Structure formats: C-alpha cells, structure tokens
A = this chain, B = another copy of it.
Amino acid sequence: MSRWAPDAALRLESAAVELFEEQGYGPTTVPQIAARAGLTTRTFFRHFADKRDVLFLRDREFPDVVGAALAGLPDALGPGELVERGLAVAVAPLDHWRDSIGRRRALIQTDDRLKERELLKSARLSEAVASALGTRGLTPLDARLLAATAVAVFDAALDEWLDSADGTALADHLTAVWERMRAVRG
C-alpha cells in the first residue's frame, strides 16, 4: 500500500459510495471504507474530516470554480448577467458526472446529517458568489441577495437535471430555471 497516492481521495470516495449503497450510510465505518479502497484509516483522515465528508469531495472546489468563472467575465456585464453566465461556465464539466452526482444525491437523502452537510455546501457556494460580486463593486447586501438567488437557481436546476432523463445539459436547465425565477417574481 503506497503512502503516496494522488488518487487516494477519489478511491476512498468510490469505496464509500459502494459501501453506503450496499449496507447503508449509518452502519458503514471509516475502517471499512479504507479497507475497501486498499488504504489505511490514517490515509482516510488525511483526506477527510469524517465519514460525511467523503461524499462532498467534489463540492470542495466548486465554489472556487464558480468564483474563478465570475472573475473571468467582462466588467461590462450587469451583476445579474454576470452571475447567470458565470454559473453556466462553471457547470459545463458536470454533465460528464451526472450518474455519480445522482448516486451521491440519493445517498444524501437517506440521512439527516448528510442533508445538513448539503446545506453547508450551498452556503459556501453562496459565500463564494457574494465574494466575487463584492469585487465587482456590489454592496454586501446586494451581493448577498444575488448570490442567494443564484444558489437557489443552481440547486433547483441540479435537481431538474438529475430528475430528467432526456439528456438535456445542466446549463440548459439553468437557463430554464433562471427564466422561471424571473417569471415567478412577477
């Protein structure tokens, strides 16, 4: 067993998802996950704070990805357009991961502590968007409101995408949900 394992986190994630699906989230232990991945418990804790954390590996970087997407857009865009385009850029790579994101979501629905952790994920994304908007000159209040709107649209679009089986890209669901968001406010 190599101590240096650049793909250790991904192997631990796969092993955890398999075990959670086979025997449930509650009964699965960190040593079991590590053993299934062919790694030590100590390696597990180098990559993850706890058993919950392993299901949120891919979410760690997403706020930074969205922040970077926003930072890369032209200054001339209005804040609403900026957020809408930034999210569309950031989600493009997710289409390749639809199956594993869907399995992960199904697991999260089985446990209240995982659902709580999922809320934290949305809060971190909201902070990243608000911070990127702050550097564009929005007031803290405006940045916070627009960021919360963007995260609500993103979360809803992600569910629509996972629930639909017609191969529509996540970015297209995002566009449709932004339109509903504008319509529902009247």
A residues near B (Cβ < 8 Å) are: 78-81, 116-117, 119-120, 122-123, 138, 141-142, 144-146, 148-149, 152-153, 155-156, 160, 177, 180-186
Contact = CB atoms under 8 A, between A and B. Distances in A.
A140 B143 CA distance: 27
B152 A149 contact: yes
3 nearest CB pairs, A to B: A148-B152, A119-B119, A80-B186
A154 to B, nearest CB: 11
A122 B152 CA distance: 13
A133 B182 CA distance: 17
A139 to B, nearest CB: 8
Q: How many copies does the complex hold?
A: 2
Contact of A177 (B141, B181, B184): B141
Of A80, A119, A183, A185, chain B has the most CB atoms within 10 Å of the CB of: A185
Contact of A156 (B79, B119, B145, B180): B145
A184 B142 contact: yes
A117 B81 CA distance: 32
A148 B151 CA distance: 9
Contacts of A183: 142
A99 to B, nearest CB: 23
A112 B14 CA distance: 28
B80 A185 contact: yes
B148 A184 contact: no
A10 B160 CA distance: 42
A177 B160 CA distance: 29
A156 B184 contact: no
A116 B81 CA distance: 30
Given A152-B145, A156-B141, A160-B141, A184 B80 contact: yes
